[in-house]
Structure 1
Amino acid sequence: MIYFVGAGPGDPELLTVKAWRLLQQADLVIYAGSLVPFQVMDCCRADAQKVNSAPLALEEIVKLMVEYHQRQQLVVRLHTGDPSLYGAIGEQMRALDEVGLPYEIVPGVSSFLAAAAAVRKEYTVPGGSQTVIITRLAGRTPVPPEQALSALAQHRGSMAIFLSVGLAEQVQQELLQAYPPATPVAVVERASQPAERVLRGTLGGLAKLIQAAGITKTALILVGDFLTGEGTSLLYDRKFTHEYRAGS
């Protein structure tokens, strides 16, 4: 079997039990070298073949998978966070389908969840935002026009913006078309890792905040009133009746 495995946000203790077990068993681990920390790679079997996918093309990655599978050896394709978010696994799976090789996806903890933990906030606030928008700014990888940041901002939901910290000025300009300048923001660099940094500010000063810190990559931008808002859930309210408890 070939496994697409989510490595989590960087802290090896945030690997799932299944991900850790597969790394211990894998004969070949193809990993995103620019993103997967060495602490996670230390979880691999000592004698496993470890290949950095950063300089490889799709065809080379698939060729390695096929070669090891034909030897009946276990293959792990290790992606940061969760493979379903900006993981580029679709074309890899299609290539495996074409040659008839079996594979399985093992989900991981996404960095947008680790970022929420870092700022000690919940994206969905009782009485406030009940919507989380996970997106990115268009760059070398295009974004459909209807999903432009300025369009998504009209919803005024809680936002986690990936792969865009290097374009901070453009992010700020697009968001200001819908959010007030005083909207709280946070920038979380290397969430869950030893080098984690959390910057806080307002949307009107977002670009300057990022530029002053010298952050150019490996960071998420969080936007929304959830960063300062507070609410109390009805779920545990003594007067609230539900299936398992009668209100008083």
Structure 2
Amino acid sequence: MTVHFIGAGPGAPDLLTLRAQRLIAAAPVVLYAGALVPAEILGHAPAEAQVIDTQHLQLDEIIAACQAAHGAGHDVARLHSGDLSIYSAVAEQTRRLDALGIPWDVTPGVPAFAAAAAALRCELTVPEVAQTVILTRYGKLASKIPAGEDLASLAAHGTTLVVHLGTQAIDEIVAAVTPHYGPDCAAAVVARASWPDELVLRGTLATIAAQVADAGIRRTATILVGPALAAHDFRESHLYSKARDRPAAGDDA
């Protein structure tokens, strides 16, 4: 058997990969991350599948469910919201599975920051404006942020900054990054990106905290800051430029 860790996407049930859908449809056991995985995605599971909400389970209990499936020879579809490469708590699970000799693999999903960028109709990297995206989280109530990864240090780069899990502390985040970007820098908050109740707030560092407070946003939101969010008068990329060298007709591409 195999435990298939699957990125279930940001919320919209059709933002699920074909591979993910196939694995879910074949899995006798499905573990999913509470209210962050919509019922339509769980609907891909076999009617007879054991479906377990891990929202209120501890790590030991989650691993015990995987171990029981392993003993029965049953594959597990382990669903996490977004993509598994960031803030998924997968590493601690796979470490336990390795110690138990239980096979596992990973199927990527659409991450929340990509869904937020889509909602904003915005490219996060713009030629000669921003060519780097920094993904981070606000660490006040969760595990500690490593030295050198505090918001002020990251904001010093002046590029596109994406902050997860931080809307409850939007005032503190704004205060930390404003000295580096300036109060007029573009900022946005996208709550529940791709869900039917998606909410998009656009403003500047001077206005975004008040907008968040007025909207009552407390969680399941992504904060984005940087000049790329409002870039209009920028140089076109080299990718489609007339100056780019291209193979002659008949040459290999």
Alignment check: 8 A CA contact 1:10 1:40 kept:
no
The CA distance in 2 between the partners of 1:46 and 1:189, in whole Å, is: 32
State the Cα deviation string for residues 20-40 of structure 1 (Å, max 9, x = none). 111111111111103112222
Q: What is aligned with 1:16?
A: 17
Structure-2 residue corresponding to 1:3: 4
CA shift, 1:209, in A, is: 1.1
Instruction: Pick from 156, 159, 181 the counterpart of residue 157 of structure 1.
Output: 159
Alignment correspondent of 2:241: 237
Q: Which amino acid aligns with 1:204?
A: A
Task: Say whether the 8 Å CA contact 1:150–1:174 is kept in structure 2.
Answer: yes
Instruction: Write the distance in 2 (CA, Å) between the matches of 1:125 and 1:10.
Output: 27
Distance apart, 1:165 and its partner CA: 0.8
Corresponding residue SS for 1:171: helix
Q: Give the letter for the 1:117 counterpart.
A: A
Deviations 1:72-123 (CA, angstroms, capped at 9, x unpaired): 1110111011111100011111111111111001111101111111111111
> What is the TM-score with the length of structure 1 in the denominator?
0.95
Equivalent position amino acid for 1:94 in 2: R
Contact persistence 1:172–1:203 (CA under 8 A)? yes
2:89 partner letter: A
CA distance in 2, matches of 1:139, 1:106: 30
2:222 corresponds to which of 215, 220, 223: 220
Cα offset, 1:44, TM superposition: 2.1
Q: How many residues align?
A: 246
Larger mean CA deviation between 140-149 and 80-89 belongs to 140-149
What CA deviation, in whole Å up to 9, does each residue of 1:159-218 have, x standing for no partner? Answer: 111000111111111111211000011111111111111110000122111000100000
Q: TM-score, normalised by structure 2?
A: 0.93
Q: Which residue of 1 aligns with 2:211?
A: 209
Runs of 4 or more above 3 Å deviation: 242-245
| Superposition RMSD in Å | 1.5
Instruction: Structure 2: give runs of 5+ residues left out of the alignment.
Output: none
Q: Aligned pair 1:65/2:70, yes or no?
A: no
- Which one-letter code corresponds to 1:171 in the other structure? I
Counting aligned pairs with the same residue, the percent is 41
The alignment status of 1:55 with 2:60, answered yes or no, reads no
Counterparts of 1:46 and 1:185 in 2: how far apart (Å)?
A: 44
Question: What does residue 200 of structure 1 align with?
Answer: 202
**Aligned residue for 2:119?**
118
Amino acid paired to 1:146:
G
